[in-house]
Amino acid sequence: TKAGVSHAPSEGPMDLLSRLTRERPAIAVRARPVLDAYVALRYAPPDAGPRDQTDLPAFMAMVRHFRVT
């Protein structure tokens, strides 16, 4: 866990965000863009077409710079 934030293996990213919004709203505000980007990359339908090549590197940069304080 980071800063007391953990998630169950069965907890999806939006469920985690909902819980953070209730329990740790300051973290939820900063986590939302990261989780939204993750969902867009991970759960895009297969017929969505080719992704912009900058999507994954941009997401990885967001994750690297994300801090839980």
Q: Which residues contact 28 (CB under 8 A, 6 or more apart)?
A: 17, 20, 21
Q: Which residue has the higher pLDDT, 57 or 44?
A: 57
Q: Tens digit of pLDDT for each residue in 40-56?
A: 888 877 776 666 555 88
pLDDT at site 17: 94
- Element at 27 (helix H, strand E): helix 25-42
Q: Is 24 left (phi over 0), alpha (psi -120 to 50) or beta?
A: beta
5 φ, ψ (degrees, to nearest 5): -110, 120
Q: Tens digit of pLDDT for each residue in 11-41?
A: 999 999 999 999 999 999 999 999 999 998 8
pLDDT at site 54: 56
Q: How far apart are CA 16 and CA 50, in angstroms?
A: 28
